[in-house]
A and B are shown apart, each in its own frame.
Chain A
Amino acid sequence: MKSFPLKIVTPDGPQFEGEATELIVRTISGDMGIMAGHINCVTSLGMGRAVVVTEEGKREAACIGGILSVLNGEVNLVPTTFEWADQIDLRRAEAAEQRARKLLEDKRLSAVELRLADARLKRALVRKSVASSMLSH
């Protein structure tokens, strides 16, 4: 299968650099798959699962926010947070989910606090689903 150069870089350091045969990410308008020879393309990332397929196999990660750019065959993924499934602490994600749910029940929250808590809940849910799906494999 044809491969393409892929780089994944986050504020916490580079996460991946090398050849990949397929990349699936959740963008703001839904899941998007990239294979070698993709047209030049720029999109904004949503919150969700990212799948990187290389010669060695398939890896999953929780990928939240940021930019995906395909330019002249090179694929650059620049997410705000990116965690490989095997690095996610499932118990921490569950605790974060509980905390966020409790916060959201509070009716006195301001609009900003509400948005933050909502974002936290979504992040926790993404992490949880990615981590637990890996366990079931």
Chain B
Amino acid sequence: MAGVSTKEIKTRIRSMESTKQITKAMEMVAASKLRHAQAQIAYSRPYFRMIYGVIQDIAETNTKQHLPYLEPTKNAKHRTAYVVIAGDRGLAGGYNSNVLKLCYGEMQGRDCAVLPIGKKALDFFTARGVERMSESYAEAEDVSVSDCFTMARMLCKAFRAGEYDEVRIGYSNFVSVLSQTPATMKLLPLEPESRDGDPKPADILYEPTSTEVFENIIPEYIGGVIYGALCESRASEQAARRSAMDTATQNAEEMIADLSLKYNQARQAAITQEITEIVAGT
């Protein structure tokens, strides 16, 4: 008999086919979730840009006053707080590992605490023994706008209390359906992007007082940025899963074609052998 038996090949084809069905279904689910996430991004991006722009303008035009959040609190611990956004489930290509690796790499040599969002982020940092601030955001899909604002208030309070001298966020940027890049961003202390060049001289009236305004708007700003990053990450996750599952489906199809060929060859070989045996009269 020629190599592998036809029965064995048939079983393998069948198992490949059921795998293909699963990956195909997952791809379609991810594609539909992706559409939803993309719509959400289209809404949240203008907000994200606007709130970022407004805060940057204020930070840039403010040259005289010492306002809270523009620099670490005096005698603050030399410690960084990281907000890390990953997914809840695997099978999304490099989505989870890319962002987690980037953040973990940055954390090396620093005293850090993380605020993980998503089950994968929580598991990753638990396994590596990094201090977690909270474990209540293990479901990235369920985190709402108000959760983002709660987190922001918590982070701002800790920053003001001098527990951290820096707050950063790690997330995935949704560039396109085919490309998602992990990134980290500094949330606190606030630093205007362009320190070089003359600061734009502009007097701003803060109502009622600059300190009071900053105390109120910075937590709002941080919450807005966390929400924006979360929307980007969610869309990235679905896009990454969709393309990973698309590749898996294609691979399964290739293997099925290959196995079908082998199956037919084996079947043909068996028939030929049978005929030869009959003709030879053995």
Chain A contacts to B: CB under 8 angstroms: 7, 9-14, 27-29, 32, 39-44, 65-67, 69, 71-72, 76, 78, 80
Distance (whole angstroms) from the CB of A63 to the closest CB of chain B? 13
Decide if B149 touches A40 in the complex (CB within 8 Å): no
**What interface size band does chain B fall in?**
20 to 34
Question: Contacting B220 at CB < 8 Å: which of A14, A29, A41, A44?
Answer: A44
* B208 touches A (CB below 8 Å): yes
Distance (whole angstroms) from the CB of A79 to the closest CB of chain B? 9
**Pair count A-B, CB < 8 A:** 86
Residue of B nearest to A67 (CB): B217
Distance (whole angstroms) from the CB of A127 to the closest CB of chain B? 16
Question: Contacting A11 at CB < 8 Å: which of B43, B206, B221?
Answer: B43
User: Beyond A13-B43, A43-B213, is A7–B50 a contact (Cβ under 8 Å)?
Assistant: yes
Chain B contacts to A: CB under 8 angstroms: 42-44, 46-47, 50-51, 53-54, 57-58, 61, 145, 149, 202-208, 212-213, 216-217, 220-221, 223-224, 227
Report whether over half of chain A's contact residues are helix, strand or loop; otherwise say mixed: strand
Question: Contacting B46 at CB < 8 Å: which of A13, A66, A72, A80?
Answer: A13
| A32-B223 Cα distance, complex, nearest whole Å | 24
| A40-B207 Cα distance, complex, nearest whole Å | 11
Q: Which residues of A contact B205 (CB under 8 A)?
A: 39-42
Decide if B145 touches A28 in the complex (CB within 8 Å): no
